[in-house]
Amino acid sequence: MSAYKDEDPRIHGIRTKIRVVPNFPQPGIMFQDITTLLLDPKAFKDTIDLFVERFKGKNISVVAGIEARGFIFGPPIALAIGAKFVPLRKPRKLPGEVISEKYTLEYGSDCLEMHVGAVKPHERALVVDDLIATGGTLCAAMNLLGSGAVEREAIVRANRVPLTRANVTKTNHHPFQPLPHTKKERKRQENLLKCHFH
């Protein structure tokens, strides 16, 4: 049974398939393990279907997947909505000319890279990853993609701080509800996500 009255029952099924691993990869971190979700074909399909239902017909031409688990969810979503898939990789994984963006993680720092020219001006992009914790990776992805990146999604959100323009631009945190429970919540989230990351 769903935790919220208007919640799609598939969301509850997905939520129950994500295992929480305390103190991984270091003490104090509550790791959200999506590998248990991938072991359940119905929950995995429901996850992809929810993304497709939400973003099909929204003129998205690019699905950008963040390494590594964004590579699991991004390609099937891209195929289903008729978009190209662009991998956002860790340093020195892409041959040829790349652009890069450094960011801060919940437990360190890293860098994302993308091929130069992978996303053209005025393309509309959807950023896909498995988890939003501090929002550092998401912010780096948004900066790499530029103003075309107008949609962003994840399977799990690590906190429930309200998403406001101030939270995004001042603290670099992007805590949003990736799978909204109600239509009203989804509309509110879509309005709040109209912000710039530069």
Question: Tell me, what's the pLDDT at 176?
Answer: 33
Nearest to 99 by CA among 109, 108, 111, 110: 111
Q: What is the pLDDT of residues 24-34, one digit of tens each?
A: 988 888 889 99
Q: Two tokens at 157?
A: 């959100």
- List b or e across 8-46, with b for residues whose CB sees 16 or more CB atoms inside 10 angstroms: bebbebbbebbeeeeeeeeeeeebbbbeebbeeeebbeb
Active site annotation includes 69: yes
Q: What is the pLDDT of residues 106-135, one digit of tens each?
A: 667 899 999 999 999 889 999 999 887 777
Active site annotation includes 106: yes
Q: Where are the alpha helices (DSSP H) in the chain?
A: 9-16, 35-38, 41-55, 70-81, 136-145, 165-171, 183-192
- Spot the catalytic one: 7, 15, 67, 106: 106
Rounded to whole angstroms, how far apart are CA atoms 69 and 176? 18
Quickly tell me which residue has 């003129």 as its tokens: 59
- Report the predicted TM-score, pTM, of the whole model to 2 decimal places: 0.76
Q: What is the pLDDT of residues 48-99, one digit of tens each?
A: 999 999 999 999 999 999 999 999 999 999 999 999 999 999 999 999 999 9
* 3-class SS of residue 79: helix
Please state, as a whole number, how many other Cβ atoms lie within 10 Å of the Cβ of residue 140: 25
58-192 maps to CATH 3.40.47.10: no
Are 157 and 14 in contact, with CB atoms under 8 Å apart?
Answer: no
Q: Domain ranges in the chain?
A: 58-192
- Spot the catalytic one: 10, 54, 69, 157: 69
Asked if the model's pLDDT at residue 22 lies above 60, the reply is: yes
